[in-house]
């Protein structure tokens, strides 16, 4: 088929090497980015190479369809939202093509992640300077599109300063390179009739016009503001001798940087690199009693040669109190500051850094600015910066429909103007009845300012426009930039004529026409923009759909608002090297469909817009949740705490009402009943379950081993042996040991180790005939059963569990249901909450007792042992790895480290299922398996999760032990 003959998506898909989707699910999850906008695209393309891009451009031109370039989709202004065809380069355009250490340059494809690039460069003591808060998932192509800056711009500049060369494809399919040109070479480019020649002619004719030059200099933001990105950067080109400036070279990549993909499609980027900052850095965390005081402090502090100067206000700081991960990073916060400024000083000498830090503090004190100045070093700095970087996502934690809205968050002024500008801004916001959010890059004269609005209400949408318009006027008064680093997108493009003048805007339109005569590149951005108050995520003044759920989502005001907490910041796409677990399935597939963000967005979309009586009854939702492994990482690692595992369980429960519970799900959800029968003849049961015919019937992968039932259940063993544990010497306390379904039937040895360890340490252990935890039923969405089990267990334990008689569990996923799912499922909420407060993993309990000096090192061996811990996902998300690490370190000569591993990939029944086996093993290979294989045979591998131990064996053929087994062996 001739490419020019392609007329529809089916034909287009057949000629592409990459993938093309126009199903409702893909259109839905690409309808939003990290902005407030929503537009359903026609489809989504994942091009594999330049030829695919040319085919797409030809198709778009012939069919008058706009193309929306997209990388990680973290744009705040709506750059990635449109009604055309989304072109996602994040999957295939991800190579580092060339590196020249001598010239300190690197050439990459646009889908390379910023931190990924810097990880590659680190051994050479080099890095790419611009550092956004999304650096562990944002891509260089997007940074070029927005001219991103981040925390480091006051020392290392912005993306435009680093771009040396761009290889692009123009709208007619021609491949063109933009780089440094001498004036005579620029003039030679004008010869001919090609689209490239026409571009150079247009640029020359427009910018050699003295009247145009004067208009640009008069109306564009002050050149002293290095964060400026209103419209196209024609002011940068005026620096060339060709147009009256002093520079010997002219480079149109400066124009393309910040153009938001509206002029050309970039396929390769050559960057200038910097040497890494000096290693002896100190961050002074200045605490202030008001925003205005902190602004005055910035002017003083910026005289001290800082490397970064970042702000967090009280709103941001208060959000961190409710985030499981970030609350740990609040260690340096003193009192209740209205603002904290983090001033970073770097030198090659520790004493010199300290001297400079002290000089800064003295200067601030002399000017009576600030009340506390803790100095942070080493890992403390990383933790504090993580707190700051989480700011965007944390704003999603605001409960209800009022949100901190991105519309004026990108203003930049000269630092000397900052106090007066913010003073006027704050006064203006009071007139609007607003308490805005203030955070980010104070040292660069750019604060991310956000009003709190409910964009579901017409009156607040009106305010949305009015506040944006008034702020634009104020920025113009100070000669500032309305778009500092986040770009114009949809939200600010309407105001470009106001910011740079109508004549300059007309000039930009002529430049756009020269590059893209058919207007196929990112239509509605910068030139002829979409209205800033239309195409919002939510229908204005809509009647919120009433959605009944079996779980209690009142903490988010319902399940719909729980899904709406996802603001699209894309933390679920972060690099594995960034640590954490989220999101295992995305890490394995690199498909947006398999992100936490996609699941939340899809659920929001269908719960809002479905006309079905049961709004959950959509195959698209089943598809998007299919690879969610319920690891719970998003519950803690997502700054907005979007708990997709809980959303998935509810979805499955509601979906099954219409479609029935699948046979295999019934089997897994009722595994305890089946194990009870099977345990009567365990040998025969194990033989049958591991037979290929059984696996085939159950839909279990033939490559997966089935765990074997123990010869006796723990409860039966205990009944025979309980007299051994009744006579406890020197009782230090009493516990109820929760014998979960995994310990009872499979890990009986771990159960024995647990009761023997606790008893010998001086604790009376109560073993009762409670019900199973319900973990399997929850993971399979069989929530009627899970709710019954929760109610039975809560009713059973409510009169037994106290602070002095806690509930202690062995398997993390089972015992933590009492602290997590039971709070949503149990009918008796008060009793469930009381039990939850007094429920501990066995490691948590042992650490508590160790801190009370009830457990001492002399109770354990002095022999040497090396241990490496892999953490269970639920343990990491709902508890911490600290208890495991610390209790295993109680024996004096045990050397313990925690493996920086994500999810093992087993995830309960997920890893057994035939269609999920390969993904399960790929998740294991992501971070865990390679590290396990490299562990010396003399080192003990520790894993509290029964699924983890099973997966480690299947994936690496290595044994691992539960922490209690190791401690029991260590007793003297």
pLDDT the model gives residue 320: 85
Q: Is residue 407 reached through a cis peptide bond, with omega within 30 degrees of 0 on the bond before it?
A: no
Among 969, 878, 954, 869, which residue's Cα sits nearest to residue 918? 954
- pLDDT above 90 (res 394): no
221-249 pLDDT per residue, tens: 999 999 999 999 999 999 999 999 999 99
Any bridge partners for residue 226, and if so which?
Answer: none
Q: Three-state SS for 894?
A: strand
Taking a C-beta distance cutoff of 8 angstroms, is the pair 602, 28 a contact?
A: yes
Q: How many residues does the chain have?
A: 972
DSSP run (H or E) holding 807: strand 807-809
Taking a C-beta distance cutoff of 8 angstroms, is the pair 311, 438 a contact?
A: yes
Mean pLDDT of all residues in 572-582: 92
- pLDDT above 90 (res 641): no
Taking a C-beta distance cutoff of 8 angstroms, is the pair 877, 636 a contact?
A: yes
Q: What angle do CA 643, 649, 651 make, to 5 degrees?
A: 100
Which residues have C-beta within 8 Å of that of residue 567, sequence separation ≥ 6?
Answer: 34, 392, 393, 395, 396, 403, 640
- pLDDT above 70 (res 5): no
pTM: 0.94
Confidence of residue 1 (pLDDT cuts 50, 70, 90): very low
Cα 365 to Cα 347: distance, rounded to the nearest angstrom = 23
656-694 pLDDT per residue, tens: 999 999 999 999 999 999 999 999 999 999 999 999 999
pLDDT the model gives residue 393: 66
Cα 40 to Cα 45: distance, rounded to the nearest angstrom = 14
902-945 pLDDT per residue, tens: 999 999 999 999 999 999 999 999 999 999 999 999 999 999 99
Confidence of residue 583 (pLDDT cuts 50, 70, 90): very high
Among 769, 731, 737, 766, which residue's Cα sits nearest to residue 750? 737
- pLDDT above 50 (res 2): no
327-336 pLDDT per residue, tens: 889 999 999 9
Percentage of the chain with pLDDT > 90?
Answer: 93
pLDDT the model gives residue 157: 96
Question: Within 10 A of 613 (CB to CB), how many other CB atoms are there?
Answer: 7
Kindly give the pairing relationship between strand 85-88 and strand 67-70.
parallel
418-447 pLDDT per residue, tens: 999 999 999 999 999 998 889 999 999 999
Q: State the residue for tokens 């259940």.
A: 713
Strand order across the beta sheet in which 308-313 lies: 375-376, 280-288, 339-347, 308-313, 437-440, 448-450
Mean pLDDT of all residues in 593-615: 96
- pLDDT above 80 (res 390): no
pLDDT averaged over every residue in the chain: 95
pLDDT the model gives residue 363: 98
368-388 pLDDT per residue, tens: 999 999 999 999 999 998 888
51-70 pLDDT per residue, tens: 999 999 999 999 999 999 99
DSSP secondary structure code for residue 222 in this structure: P
Cα 312 to Cα 441: distance, rounded to the nearest angstrom = 9
Confidence of residue 396 (pLDDT cuts 50, 70, 90): low
- pLDDT above 70 (res 4): no
- pLDDT above 80 (res 16): yes
777-816 pLDDT per residue, tens: 999 999 999 999 999 999 999 999 999 999 999 999 999 9
Mean pLDDT of all residues in 883-887: 98
pLDDT the model gives residue 799: 95
Mean pLDDT of all residues in 709-728: 91
pLDDT the model gives residue 398: 78
């Amino acid at each position: 088929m001739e490419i020019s003959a392609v007329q529809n998506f089916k034909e287009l898909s057949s000629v592409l090497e990459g993938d093309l989707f126009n199903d409702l699910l893909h259109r839905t999850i690409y309808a939003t980015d990290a902005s407030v906008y929503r537009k359903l695209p026609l489809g989504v393309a994942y091009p594999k190479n330049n030829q695919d891009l040319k085919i797409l451009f030809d198709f778009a031109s012939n069919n008058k369809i706009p193309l929306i370039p997209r990388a990680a989709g973290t744009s705040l202004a709506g750059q990635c939202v449109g009604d055309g065809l989304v072109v996602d380069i994040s999957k295939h355009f991800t190579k580092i093509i060339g590196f020249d250490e001598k010239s300190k340059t690197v050439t990459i494809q646009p889908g390379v992640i910023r931190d990924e690039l810097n990880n590659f460069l680190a051994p050479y003591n080099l890095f790419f300077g611009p550092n956004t808060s999304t650096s562990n998932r944002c891509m260089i192509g997007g940074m070029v599109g927005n001219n991103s800056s981040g925390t480091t711009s006051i020392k290392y500049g912005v993306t435009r300063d680093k771009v040396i060369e761009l290889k692009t494809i123009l709208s007619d399919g021609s491949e063109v390179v933009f780089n440094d040109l001498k004036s005579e070479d620029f003039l030679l480019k004008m010869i001919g009739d090609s689209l490239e020649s026409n571009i150079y002619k247009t640029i020359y004719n427009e910018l050699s016009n003295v009247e145009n030059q004067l208009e640009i200099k008069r109306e564009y933001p002050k050149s002293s503001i290095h964060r400026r990105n209103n419209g196209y950067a024609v002011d940068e080109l005026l620096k060339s001798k060709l147009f009256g400036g002093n520079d010997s070279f002219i480079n149109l990549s400066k124009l393309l940087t910040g153009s938001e993909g509206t002029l050309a499609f970039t396929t390769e980027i050559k960057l200038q690199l910097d040497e890494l900052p000096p290693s002896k850095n100190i961050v002074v965390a200045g605490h202030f009693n008001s925003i205005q005081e902190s602004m005055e402090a910035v002017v003083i502090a910026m005289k001290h040669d800082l490397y970064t100067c970042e702000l967090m206000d009280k709103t941001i700081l208060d959000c961190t109190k409710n985030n499981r991960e970030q609350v740990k990073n609040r260690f340096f916060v003193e009192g209740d500051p209205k603002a904290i400024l983090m001033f970073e000083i770097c030198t090659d000498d520790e004493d010199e850094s300290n001297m400079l830090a002290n000089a800064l503090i003295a200067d601030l004190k002399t000017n009576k600015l600030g009340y506390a100045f803790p100095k942070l070093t080493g890992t403390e700095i990383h933790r504090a910066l993580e707190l700051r970087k989480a700011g965007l996502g944390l704003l999603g934690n605001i409960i209800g429909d009022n949100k901190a809205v991105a519309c004026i968050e990108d203003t930049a002024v000269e630092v000397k103007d900052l106090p007066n500008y913010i003073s006027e801004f704050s006064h203006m916001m009071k007139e609007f009845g607003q308490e805005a959010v203030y955070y980010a890059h104070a040292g660069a004269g750019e604060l991310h300012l956000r009003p709190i609005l409910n964009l579901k209400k017409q009156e607040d949408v009106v305010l949305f426009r009015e506040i944006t318009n008034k702020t634009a006027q104020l920025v113009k008064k100070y000669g500032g930039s309305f778009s500092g680093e986040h770009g114009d997108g949809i939200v600010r493009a309407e105001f470009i004529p106001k910011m740079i003048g109508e004549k300059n805007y007309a000039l930009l339109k002529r430049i756009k026409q020269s590059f893209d005569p058919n207007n196929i590149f990112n239509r509605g951005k910068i030139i002829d923009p979409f209205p800033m108050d239309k195409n919002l995520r939510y229908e204005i003044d809509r009647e919120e759909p009433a959605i009944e759920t079996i779980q209690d989502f009142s903490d988010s005001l319902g399940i719909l608002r729980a899904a709406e907490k996802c603001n699209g910041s894309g933390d679920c796409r972060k690099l594995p090297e960034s640590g954490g677990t989220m999101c295992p399935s995305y890490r394995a597939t690199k498909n947006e469909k398999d992100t936490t963000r996609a699941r939340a967005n899809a659920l929001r979309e269908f719960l809002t817009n479905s006309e079905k009586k049961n709004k959950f009854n959509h195959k698209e939702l089943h598809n998007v949740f299919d690879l969610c492994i319920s690891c719970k990482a998003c519950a803690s690692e997502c700054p907005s705490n979007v708990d997709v595992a809980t959303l998935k369980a509810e979805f499955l429960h509601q979906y099954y009402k219409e479609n029935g519970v699948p046979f295999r799900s019934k089997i897994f959800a009722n595994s305890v009943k089946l194990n009870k029968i099977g345990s009567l003849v365990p040998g025969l049961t194990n033989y049958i379950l591991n037979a290929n015919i059984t696996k085939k019937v159950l839909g279990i992968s033939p490559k997966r081993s089935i765990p074997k039932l123990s010869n006796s259940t723990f409860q039966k063993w205990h009944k025979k042996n309980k007299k051994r544990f009744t006579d406890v010497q020197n009782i230090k306390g009493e516990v109820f040991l929760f014998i979960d379904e995994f310990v009872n039937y499979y890990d009986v040895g771990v159960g024995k180790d647990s009761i023997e360890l606790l008893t010998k340490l001086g604790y009376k252990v109560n073993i009762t005939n409670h019900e199973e935890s319900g973990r399997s039923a929850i993971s399979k969405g069989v929530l009627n059963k899970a709710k019954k089990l929760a109610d039975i267990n809560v009713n059973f334990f409510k009169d037994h569990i106290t602070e002095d008689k806690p509930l202690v569990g062995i398997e993390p996923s089972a015992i933590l249901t009492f602290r997590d799912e039971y709070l949503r499922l149990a009918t008796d909420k008060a009793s469930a909450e009381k039990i939850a407060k007094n429920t501990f993993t066995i490691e948590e309990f042992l650490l508590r007792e160790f801190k009370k000096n009830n457990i001492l090192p002399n109770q354990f061996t002095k022999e040497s042992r090396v241990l490496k811990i892999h953490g269970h996902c639920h343990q990491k998300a709902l508890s911490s790895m600290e208890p495991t690490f610390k209790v295993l370190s109680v024996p004096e000569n045990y050397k313990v480290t925690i493996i920086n591993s994500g999810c093992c990939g087993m995830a309960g029944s997920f890893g057994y299922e035939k269609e999920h086996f390969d993904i399960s093993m790929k998740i294991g290979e992501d971070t865990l398996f390679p590290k396990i294989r490299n562990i010396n045979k003399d080192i003990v591998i520790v894993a509290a999760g029964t699924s983890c131990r099973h997966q480690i064996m299947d994936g690496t053929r290595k044994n691992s032990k539960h922490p209690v087994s190791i401690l029991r062996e260590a007793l003297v």
